[in-house]
């Protein structure tokens, strides 16, 4: 069947090789997804959709770590770790650090699969002072990192 197709060439063409653009219904070549006007809009929408998905994923991920750091088992274990070293920093980043250890660092980061499996593994823990802990995490500013232990809660 031949129809007159104004959108593509203005000439009569065999429209079997064309299909309507899903958005604006103009005829487009069979191999395309959208017409050239709708494609950038569709790309943009897809990019936004991906961004939103990534954001949700990160939120869920952060929730997982946050609830771990708030868990009773972590609080008990990290407190025991600090007590076992008498609050002496173990990091020795600057040779012999004499800093007061108030935080417990995961040698294998819990953001990795191995680290997550070893999140309560004594051998994966290191009692650190704030300074050395910051040196352990050069990749990010740790201002709001949840593995910081509030000393006031320790003294209880
Ligand atoms: Zn279109
Ligand atoms: Zn750490
Ligand atoms: Zn230190």
How would DSSP label each residue in 22-78?
Answer: TTT--EEETT-SS-TTHHHHHHHHHHHHHHHHHHHHHHHHHHHHHHHHTSHHHHHHH
Q: Output the CA 55–ligand 3 centroid distance in Å.
A: 34
Q: Output the CA 135–ligand 2 centroid distance in Å.
A: 9
State the pTM of this model: 0.60
Q: Output the CA 37–ligand 2 centroid distance in Å.
A: 49
The whole-number pLDDT of residue 31 equals 87
Nearest ligand for residue 32 CA? 1
Q: How far is CA 51 from CA 44, 45, 61, 62, 133, in A?
A: 11, 10, 15, 16, 31
**Tens-level pLDDT at each residue, the chain (156 residues):** 444 445 455 555 554 688 899 999 999 988 899 999 999 999 999 999 999 999 999 999 999 999 999 999 999 999 999 999 999 999 876 677 889 999 999 999 999 999 999 999 999 999 999 988 998 888 765 554 555 555 555 544
The whole-number pLDDT of residue 11 equals 55
Show me where the domains of the chain are located: 1-42, 72-156
Q: Output the CA 113–ligand 2 centroid distance in Å.
A: 16
The whole-number pLDDT of residue 139 equals 73
């Amino acid at each position: 069947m031949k129809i007159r197709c104004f959108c593509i060439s203005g000439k009569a063409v065999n429209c079997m090789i064309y299909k309507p653009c899903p958005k604006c219904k103009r005829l487009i070549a069979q191999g395309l997804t959208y017409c050239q006007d709708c494609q950038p809009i569709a790309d943009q929408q897809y990019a936004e959709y991906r961004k939103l998905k990534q954001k949700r994923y990160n939120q869920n991920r952060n929730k997982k770590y946050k609830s771990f750091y708030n868990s009773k088992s972590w609080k008990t274990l990290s407190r025991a770790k600090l007590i076992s070293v008498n609050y002496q920093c173990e990091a020795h980043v600057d040779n012999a650090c004499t800093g007061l250890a108030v935080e417990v660092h995961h040698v294998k980061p819990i953001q990795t699969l191995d680290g997550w499996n070893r999140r309560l593994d004594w051998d994966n823990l290191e009692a650190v002072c704030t300074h050395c802990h910051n040196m352990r995490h050069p990749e990010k500013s740790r201002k709001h990192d949840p593995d910081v232990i509030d000393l006031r809660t320790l003294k209880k």
